[in-house]
Amino acid sequence: MRKPIIAGNWKMFKLVGDSVAMITALKPLVANASQVEIVIAPPYPSIKTVADRAEGSNIQFAAQDISTEIKHGAHTGEVCGDMLKDVGCTHVIIGHSERRSMYGDTSQVVNRKMRAALNFGLAPIVCVGETLEERDAGREQDVVGNQLDESLSGLTREEMLRSIVAYEPVWAIGTGRTATPAQAQEMHRFIRQWLSARFDNQIADATRILYGGSVKPDNVSDLMSEPDIDGALVGGASLEAESFAKLVNYNR
């Protein structure tokens, strides 16, 4: 029902040449993966080149961010959604914890970016997740619930059907400390219940919820065997063709 998504977030890694080498190596390794959707988010300067190289393949592309603005104008440093589509993006990651913690992306900003993405027909991958301090205080569901309330504020059912949620506990990102499958499942279940309460059961059943945070070839199958985990958003292990291909081709 919910087709899994394995998404790679290259963050601020790889020059154009490295990006092309990676895509060239990856394509044959994932050519037979028809049971998952594959999405890669290169840095802006590489998107057009790698998307051109991957044309006709089963790899889709995402941007790592988007402007809140929907009209071209004097917004130095910003990139508008139609520009992302123009270079081959179908998806966009919004509200990654690094953007939230280092670049001032509050949930209000995330909400505006969601609307901008949806306005242009891009599929937003909206990220939520608690810090270690918040989890230790037993507040993880409150925090994620608030992030969802604010980030998805005003979305229609139809817009939610085009959106993807990624649960990324901040303490698990880039730390090698993955959430256990049970910890991840508990939060994914909570997010699905939130979707059911805010929208309805049909939306809750249809929405893909990805897990992110130190997903590696040796833990992906256990995570994916949980009923509410519909894919992975991967940083470190997405940077090499072999490890990313292992994630895409995980044992079901």
The residues that touch ligand PGA, with contacts defined as CB under 6 A, are 9, 168, 173-174, 212-215, 233-237
Q: How far is the CB of 55 from ligand PGA (least distance, A)?
A: 26
Three-state DSSP class for residue 155: coil
Catalytic one of 96, 98, 130, 134: 96
Catalytic residue (one of 140, 168, 188, 226): 168
Nearer to ligand PGA among residue 121 and residue 174 (C-beta): 174
Q: How far apart are CA 226 and CA 211, in angstroms?
A: 11
Nearer to ligand PGA, 9 or 107 (CB): 9
Q: Is 96 among the residues known to form the active site?
A: yes
Q: CA–CA separation, 130 vs 238, rounded Å? A: 23
Tokens for 211, please give them: 């897990």
**What residue is closest to ligand PGA based on CB?**
235
Instruction: Tell the smallest beta-carbon distance from residue 39 to ligand PGA (Å).
Output: 12
Instruction: Provide the 10 A C-beta neighbour count for residue 59.
Output: 22
Would you call 75 a catalytic residue per the annotation? no
Give the Cα separation of 19 and 44 in Å (integer). Answer: 11
Kind plus residue range of the DSSP H or E element containing 109: helix 107-119
In the complex with ligand PGA, the residue whose CB is nearer, 79 or 173, is 173
89-94/59-63 β-pairing: parallel
Q: Hey, which residues does 40 pair with through a beta bridge?
A: 8, 61
Least distance from ligand PGA to the Cβ atom of residue 74, Å: 31
For ligand PGA, the closer of residues 134 and 204 by Cβ is 134
CB of 216 to ligand PGA, least distance (A): 8
Strand partners of residue 235: none
Catalytic residues: 96, 168
